[in-house]
Amino acid sequence: MVLMKVLAIGNSFSSDATRYLHEIAKVDNYKLKVVNLYIGGCSLRTHYINMLNDEEAYQMEFNGYPTGFKVSIRKALQSDEWDFVTMQQVSHLSVDYDTFQPYLNELSQYIKKHTPKAKQILHQTWAYEQGSQRLCEELGYADQKQMFEDIESSYKKAAADLGNIMVIPSGESFQKALDNGISKLHRDTFHASLGIGRYILALTWYGALTGRSVLDNSFADFDEEVSETDLSIAKKSVSEVLGVT
C-alpha cells in the first residue's frame, strides 16, 4: 500500500478540503496521512506572524478529524517526512494578490528550511455563493464568476512567484460542478457544504496529488446526504478539471 504524507497550513477552507481525503484514498487502497493546521479565518499574514513567534496556535486535524492538540508550524513541519505541504490565502483576501506577499515567500522559505524534501503546493480557494451578502456587499461582486476569476489570477501569480509550483484547483472544480448542474455547494454561502462540497474538494486534492482517476472511486460515507446524481456530476467535474480519466 502506497503511503503519502500531506501537511496543510490553512484554515477552515483546508478543513473542508481534507475532511474526506484520507478516506477517499483508503477505498482506493492508497494510504494517505493528512494533517491540517487549523485557525479559523487565518490569513497568510497571520501564518507569517505565528511562524516568527513559533506560536503553538494551530489546532491539529488528523485524517479529517480534530485531535485536541495544538502545535506550531515548526513542530508540525518537523514531525514527519512530508511529501507535500500546502499553503493558501484566506478566502476573502484570495482575490487580491497584493495581500499574499511578502508573507507567502517567507512561509515558503521557512517550509524549505524545516522540511526541504517536501513538495510545496498551493491550495486554490473558491468563490462564494451567488447572491450572498459576503459576495455582493462585503466584496462588491455582482457575479461569483468574477470572484473566481480574481482568485484564479492570484493563485497563478503565487505559483509563478514560487517557481511555478502546483496549484490544487479546488475553486475551479467548484465552478465546473456548478456549470455541470450541481446547484448547492456551500453550507453558509462561503464554506463548503458538508456533503457534496467537501467531497468535490477532497476528490480534487486526491486526483491532483496522486494523478489517479477519480471516476471509479467508491467512497460514499458522507456527513450529510449526497444524491447519486450529484455524486456522478462531482466525479465528472473533477475529472474534467484535472484532465485525468
Separation between Cα atoms, residue 132 and residue 187, nearest integer Å: 12
Give me the mean pLDDT over the 51-63 stretch: 98
Number of domains within the chain:
1
Q: Find how far residue 41's CA is from the centre of its chain.
A: 13
Is the predicted pLDDT of residue 153 greater than 80, yes or no?
A: yes
CATH of the domain at 43: 3.40.50.1110
Binned at pLDDT 50, 70 and 90, residue 64 comes out as: very high
What the block records as the C-alpha cell of 197 is 462540497
What the block records as the C-alpha cell of 223 is 456527513
Residue 186 is classified by DSSP as: B
Q: How high is the pLDDT of residue 244? A: 81
- Give me the chain's average pLDDT, please: 97
What the block records as the C-alpha cell of 46 is 497571520
| Residue range 155-208, pLDDT digits in tens | 999 999 999 999 999 999 999 999 999 999 999 999 999 999 999 999 999 999
Q: Which domain holds residue 154?
A: 2-242
Spatial CB neighbours of 81, under 8 Å, sequence gap ≥ 6? 5, 115, 117, 118
Least confident of 2-6, 104-108, 131-135: 2-6
Sign of CA dihedral 183, 185, 190, 195: positive
Q: How high is the pLDDT of residue 1? A: 59
Binned at pLDDT 50, 70 and 90, residue 245 comes out as: confident
Separation between Cα atoms, residue 154 and residue 149, nearest integer Å: 9
Task: Quote the percentage of the chain above a pLDDT of 70.
Answer: 99
Backbone angles phi, psi at 136, to 5 degrees: -85, -50
Give me the mean pLDDT over the 93-119 stretch: 98
Q: How high is the pLDDT of residue 44? A: 98
Is the predicted pLDDT of residue 2 greater than 80, yes or no?
A: no
